[in-house]
Structure 1
Amino acid sequence: MMNQTFSLNQKGLLFFKILVPILITQLGLFAMNFFDVMMSGRASANDLAGVAIGSSLWVPVFTGLSGILLAITPIVAHLIGGKKTKDVPHSVVQGIYLAIIISIVVVGVGALFLNPILDYMKLAPEVEYIAKHYLIGLSLGIIPLFVYTVLRAFMDALAQTRITMIITLIALPINALFNYLLIFGKFGFPNLGGVGAGYATAITYWCITAFAVLIIHKLTPFKTYGIFSTLHRFSLARWKEILKIGVPIGFSIFFETSIFAAVTLLMSSFDTVTIASHQAALNFASFLYMIPLSVSMALTIVVGYEVGSKRYYDAKVYSFMGIIVAVIISVISSGFIYLYKVQVASLYTTDLDVLILTQHFLIYAIFFQLSDAIQAPIQGALRGYKDVNATLYMSFISYWIIGLPAGYVLATFSSLGAFGYWIGLIAGLAAGAICLSIRLVILQKRYTENNALPSEKRRG
């Protein structure tokens, strides 16, 4: 459980106690997708391409929609901080109901639009078949995945991030095992190739949801809330609260994740070496992004708890602590990239041309790290204040109004070529970081000086 802290050392210890398990969890989830692609590549090049394409279509959809359900974290953190624990079960159960409805909508939309999207991509027939059936297999696990997102948000809001870390670490070998059995047809299982990775992922989603339900039902402190002891009626008012906070979170995450898919699509006009190098460097940058993303999620928990308790000065201290931690780690990881860019590039390829070009892209990834180290933690802090619209607007403006158009102009009308897209995105990220920093300072000043309720409550 979260407790009030009185010194900087206590705050630091609590913050890292929450942060480290979140980081391990995020790296574990990243590794799960990596296993799908890597093990499919062992089957054939078509399996690799099919799973990679299926995954690239699914990840922006999942991250965006799961972002809506992440609203449960600040909602529960505020309730606990405000000593309104009796309202927690109702909010969590309404989140579960909403997760099920979102899942059904996703499956329905996928059934209508998956074929046209794949046809538009003009893939080789074998690759299109694998991508389609990988997603069909994965769709069998969408309901438990979104339900688990709500349950994880609840557990994290109680500062029990170690539990979700353990669940993720258990899920990794389960995912790898079923990948092995279903991709390669071992021990009597069907040989499904890359399609098997989709079914293996769905099975994993069911397992982690079952673990979460069991833990919440049996273990302290979760069982004291009696989440599953009462069958609550549908509450449109509570759905409205979740959606009011969650939709801006979801869209801001979607704008961020989909921009890289858009850049990859625009870069299809470049040669294979350039595309491969871009993808390799982007994959490693995405791996390192798990650090500021984890800081962001930890800040949502601690800031939400302190704001709910009306300890606005403590919320401010945590906010700046998170940003400083992210910047320090970013400087270290940037130094690592610069010093070991050859070794990092060699993880992805043995082709000399790709190896050399990947190293150049990795230099630009350094500037990604520095911008992300500021804007991601600030987003998490703002969500802790339930201030989500600023993040939504800046995600859209920084990526789609500044980053992508600037990148396109530089890539098309200058000698920078493919590097132009990276420079454009870095410029967008930097603009977002500056504007969100200003927003956070203004918000904190309002809270600490006026000791007021959140602005959205005053308006209500």
Structure 2
Amino acid sequence: MNITHNRSQKLRQLFVILFPILITQLGLYAMNFFDIMMSGKYSTDDVAGVSIGSSIWVPVYTGLSGILLAITPIVSQLIGARNKKSVPFSILQGVYLAAAMALLVMLIGSFVLNPILQGMSLTANVHRVAHDYLVALSIGMVPLFIYNVLRSFIDSLGQTRVSMIITLLALPINVALNYLLIYGKFGFPELGGVGSGYATAITYWIITIIAVVVIIKIHPFSDYQIFKTFYKVSFKEWASLLKIGVPIGFSIFFETSIFAAVTLFMSEYDTITIASHQIAMNFASFLYMMPLSISMALTIVVGFEAGAKRLQDAREYSVIGIIMAVSMSLLCALAIFFFREPVASLYTEDEKVMQLTAQFLIYALFFQLSDAIAAPIQGVLRGYKDVHITFLMSLVSYWVIGLPTGYLLATFTDMGAFGFWIGLITGLAMGAIGLSGRLLYIQWIKYPKKYAVK
């Protein structure tokens, strides 16, 4: 990370940090994309089962891994304040916390998974695929959570290219394992959609091992000697991490779990509707990687500037990031509109699923603008460590406004499944408005009173 003196330098530094984050996010997303796409080529039941399993897993994972995102603003501010000695202790405590969280999720999941699936109107085969997919995926849960901590450390130093390289190395391995285990090639068992769960779990182990080696062996990470001293578990440090991380995690959970809740409601529809909805949602999530990546980059640069009390620089970064996200969202909306049918054909060869997916993708157009405003603002606020109010905003906008609106439209109008998508769009819009107000308060009322502005 370098100190910048004008907007041109800021734009250059933000892009240098952002581009590898985007490639990394797309790579991680691609694992889920190939799970669903390759399962869809196997059978409609398998893509439905993997989609249901994914819709249960994603909000749990993103919510809990969101807690671990506390590492990024903590380390960024420590580095901005030139307090490097405290970094190894914080990172190692984050690793301990990550492992504990993963084990707890696995324990709880062993009790609640079957009841959740039994509460859905699924065919026996779709139920089986969803259950076995999640069981297979759990094998990689501990390394995945640990990797999130290590990646946050790597990214907080501004070395986002390293995370990108790790992901790009792992992606072809994941695709190859999918090919072997889904279709039973070269003597491997033919597991269908369940095989994608095992393939992804193995890949999680690989990227975690690579990250550990990089941090131990390669400059500048090796300078911090993260694993030189294995400190005792510090529940006080865990509390500090959780104080920042829990609101972040809940904010992400409220946003992602509403999509899972909609999928649960969708289980009342037929398999074609379930598959079409999930495919469209999967592609919308793919496009979300751009504003999400900008959000993560803004957390790093704003945290760095806020830690050094350069608040004018932090404000300038936020403006650049939001403008960039909105501009990209308009391009993504055009891409959805003109290429929705070819996109649908990537996931399935079933003509009915393809046609219905193209209709759902029209609604995904309206996700783009709200996401382009809300996501980067969340990243800026995390850079300031302002996380408590935003998670309440997420709860209200998504669960008090968005989901009830969608349920009412789907149940009491002739919109059917499309009503849920309108509810999601409403919730995202309300979230964007609330976050915009919070950012204005933080930047122009709260912090100018606390620090001198350059």
Give the Cα–Cα distance (whole angstroms) in 2 for the partners of residues 268 and 112 of structure 1: 21
For the structure 1 residues 43 and 432, does the alpha-carbon distance in structure 2 shift closer, same or farther, using more than 3 Å as the test?
closer
1:326 counterpart letter in structure 2: A
Show the counterpart of 2:31: 32
Q: For 1:172-200, what per-residue CA distance to the aligned partner results, in whole angstroms no more than 9, with x for missing partners? A: 11111222233333334333333322222
Give the Cα–Cα distance (whole angstroms) in 1 for the partners of residues 56 and 43 of structure 2: 20
User: In the alignment, is residue 234 of structure 1 matched against residue 233 of structure 2?
Assistant: yes
Show the counterpart of 1:177: 176
Query: Which range moves more in the overlay, 379-388 or 103-112?
Result: 103-112
SS at match of 2:365: helix
1:210 counterpart letter in structure 2: I
Compute the displacement of 1:393 (Å). Answer: 0.8
Show the counterpart of 2:305: 306
2:342 counterpart letter in structure 1: Q
Show the counterpart of 2:203: 204
Give the Cα–Cα distance (whole angstroms) in 2 for the partners of residues 233 and 442 of structure 1: 40
Show the counterpart of 1:403: 402
2:26 counterpart letter in structure 1: L
1:82 counterpart letter in structure 2: A
Compute the displacement of 1:61 (Å). Answer: 1.1
Show the counterpart of 1:458: none
Show the counterpart of 2:79: 80
1:137 counterpart letter in structure 2: A
1:442 counterpart letter in structure 2: Y
Mapped contact 1:446–1:452 kept (Cα < 8 A): no
Show the counterpart of 2:153: 154
Show the counterpart of 2:66: 67
SS at match of 1:230: coil
Mapped contact 1:179–1:197 kept (Cα < 8 A): yes
Show the counterpart of 1:362: 361
Compute the displacement of 1:326 (Å). Answer: 0.2
User: In the alignment, is residue 294 of structure 1 matched against residue 293 of structure 2?
Assistant: yes
2:36 counterpart letter in structure 1: V
**Higher RCO, Cα 8 Å, sep 6+:** 2
User: In the alignment, is residue 245 of structure 1 matched against residue 236 of structure 2?
Assistant: no
SS at match of 2:47: helix
Q: For 1:408-455, what per-residue CA distance to the aligned partner results, in whole angstroms no more than 9, with x for missing partners? A: 2222223433332222222221111111111101101135522439xx
Mapped contact 2:46–2:192 kept (Cα < 8 A): yes
Query: Which range moves more in the overlay, 354-363 or 315-324?
Result: 354-363
User: In the alignment, is residue 121 of structure 1 matched against residue 120 of structure 2?
Assistant: yes
Compute the displacement of 1:356 (Å). Answer: 4.8
Q: For 1:118-169, what per-residue CA distance to the aligned partner results, in whole angstroms no more than 9, with x for missing partners? A: 3333544443333323222221211111110100000010111111011111
For the structure 1 residues 91 and 4, does the alpha-carbon distance in structure 2 shift closer, same or farther, using more than 3 Å as the test?
same
Compute the displacement of 1:314 (Å). Answer: 0.5
Show the counterpart of 2:12: 13
Give the Cα–Cα distance (whole angstroms) in 1 for the partners of residues 13 and 77 of structure 2: 17
Compute the displacement of 1:279 (Å). Answer: 2.9
SS at match of 1:417: coil
Give the Cα–Cα distance (whole angstroms) in 2 for the partners of residues 216 and 268 of structure 1: 44
Give the Cα–Cα distance (whole angstroms) in 2 for the partners of residues 73 and 100 of structure 1: 18
Mapped contact 2:37–2:346 kept (Cα < 8 A): no
Show the counterpart of 2:387: 388
Compute the displacement of 1:53 (Å). Answer: 2.4
SS at match of 1:431: helix
Query: Which range moves more in the overlay, 94-103 or 329-338?
Result: 329-338
Give the Cα–Cα distance (whole angstroms) in 2 for the partners of residues 38 and 395 of structure 1: 30
Give the Cα–Cα distance (whole angstroms) in 1 for the partners of residues 131 and 334 of structure 2: 41
SS at match of 1:141: helix
Q: Alpha carbon RMSD of aligned pairs, Å? A: 2.0
Show the counterpart of 1:53: 52
Percent identity of paired positions between Structure 1 and Structure 2: 63
For the structure 1 residues 95 and 3, does the alpha-carbon distance in structure 2 shift closer, same or farther, using more than 3 Å as the test?
same
2:33 counterpart letter in structure 1: F
Show the counterpart of 2:283: 284
Show the counterpart of 2:216: 217
Query: Which range moves more in the overlay, 147-156 or 388-397?
Result: 388-397
Compute the displacement of 1:348 (Å). Answer: 4.3
Mapped contact 1:390–1:436 kept (Cα < 8 A): no
Unaligned residue ranges in structure 1 (runs of 5+): 454-460
Give the Cα–Cα distance (whole angstroms) in 2 for the partners of residues 123 and 270 of structure 1: 10
Query: Which range moves more in the overlay, 197-206 or 371-380?
Result: 197-206
Unaligned residue ranges in structure 2 (runs of 5+): none
Show the counterpart of 1:441: 440
Give the Cα–Cα distance (whole angstroms) in 2 for the partners of residues 128 and 106 of structure 1: 20
Give the Cα–Cα distance (whole angstroms) in 1 for the partners of residues 199 and 50 of structure 2: 12
TM-score by length of 1: 0.93
Query: Which range moves more in the overlay, 258-267 or 337-346?
Result: 337-346
Query: Which range moves more in the overlay, 199-208 or 407-416?
Result: 407-416
Q: For 1:25-66, what per-residue CA distance to the aligned partner results, in whole angstroms no more than 9, with x for missing partners? A: 111111101222233334444433332222222111111111
Show the counterpart of 1:429: 428
1:214 counterpart letter in structure 2: V
Compute the displacement of 1:11 (Å). Answer: 0.2
1:120 counterpart letter in structure 2: G
